[in-house]
Amino acid sequence: METPLTPLEFARRARKLYPDRVAIIDGDSTWTYAEFQDRCDRWSAVLQKLEIRRGDRVAYLSPNSPAQLESFYAVPQVGAVLVPLNYRLTADDFVYLINHSGSRMVCADRDYLGTIDSIRSRLPHVEHFVALNCSVGLPAGEGFRSSQPNSVTKGWLDYEAALKASPAEFVRPEIRETDLLTINYTSGTTSRPKGVMITHRNAWMNSIGVLVHQPMNCADRYLWTLPMFHANGWTFVWTVTAAGATHVCLRKVEPRAVFELMAKEKVTMLCAAPTVLISLANAQGVRHLAPKGIRVFTAGAPPAASTIQRLEEELGWTIIHVYGLTETAPFITVCEPRAEHASLKVSERAAMKARQGVELITSGELRVVDEAGNDVPQDGITQGEIVARGNVIMAGYYNDPEATEQALRGGWFHSGDAAVVHPDGYVEIRDRLKDVIISGGENISSIEVEGVLLRHPAVQEVAIVGLAHERWGEAPHAFVVLKQGERADAKELCEFARANLAHFKAPHSVTFLQELPKTATGKIQKYVLRGRQAGIVLQ
d(CA 326, CA 396): 11
Residue 90's CB is within 10 A of a number of other CB atoms, namely 10
d(CA 36, CA 2): 27
| Contact assessment for residue 233 and residue 259, using Cβ atoms and an 8 Å cutoff | no
Residue 311's pLDDT is: 94
Residue 433's pLDDT is: 83
| Contact assessment for residue 330 and residue 318, using Cβ atoms and an 8 Å cutoff | no
d(CA 42, CA 40): 5
Question: Which CATH superfamily, name and number, covers 253-432?
Answer: ANL, N-terminal domain (3.40.50.12780)
Work out the angle between the directed axes of helices 490-500 and 446-453 (0-180°, nearest 10): 110
- Per-domain residue ranges of the chain: 31-200, 253-432, 436-537
The dihedral through the CA atoms of 178, 427, 358, 375 has a sign that is positive
Residue 486's pLDDT is: 94
31-200 and 253-432 share one CATH topology? Answer: yes
Work out the angle between the directed axes of helices 33-49 and 8-17 (0-180°, nearest 10): 140
* Segment 249-290, tens digit of pLDDT: 999 999 999 999 999 999 999 999 888 998 999 998 999 999
| Contact assessment for residue 371 and residue 335, using Cβ atoms and an 8 Å cutoff | no
d(CA 30, CA 248): 9
Find the DSSP H helices in 120-221: 159-165, 200-213
Residue 151's pLDDT is: 43
CA distances from 528 to 113, 271, 431, 463, 523 (A): 29, 26, 17, 11, 12
137: left (phi over 0), alpha (psi -120 to 50) or beta: left
Task: Say if residue 474 is exposed, middle or buried (CB neighbours under 10 Å; 0-12, 13-18, 19+).
Answer: middle
pLDDT in tens, the chain (539 residues): 889 999 999 999 999 999 999 999 999 999 999 999 999 999 999 999 999 999 999 999 999 999 999 999 999 999 999 999 999 888 999 999 999 999 999 999 999 999 999 999 999 999 999 999 985 433 334 333 333 334 445 789 999 999 999 999 999 999 999 999 999 998 755 568 899 999 999 999 999 999 999 999 999 999 999 999 999 999 999 999 999 999 999 999 999 999 999 999 999 999 998 889 989 999 989 999 999 999 999 998 888 899 999 999 999 999 999 999 999 999 999 999 999 999 999 899 999 999 999 999 999 999 999 999 999 999 999 999 999 999 999 999 999 999 999 999 999 999 999 999 999 999 999 888 888 887 877 778 888 899 999 999 999 999 999 988 877 888 899 999 999 999 999 999 999 999 998 888 999 999 999 999 987 667 788 888 887 755 554 43
What's domain 31-200's architecture?
A: 3-Layer(aba) Sandwich (3.40)
Q: What is the CATH number of domain 436-537?
A: 3.30.300.30
Cis bond upstream, residue 330 (ω within 30):
yes
DSSP state of 375: B
d(CA 84, CA 162): 21
Residue 90's pLDDT is: 87
Secondary structure (H, E, C), 461-508: EEEEEEEEECCCEEEEEEEEEECCCCCCCHHHHHHHHHHHCCHHHCCC
d(CA 12, CA 408): 34
In terms of Cα–Cα distance, which of 339, 328, 405 is closest to 363?
A: 328
Residue 488's CB is within 10 A of a number of other CB atoms, namely 18
Residue type at 519 in one-letter notation: T
Residue 149's pLDDT is: 37
d(CA 274, CA 512): 20
| Contact assessment for residue 97 and residue 123, using Cβ atoms and an 8 Å cutoff | no
DSSP output for 153-180 = -TT-EEHHHHHHHS-S--------TTSE
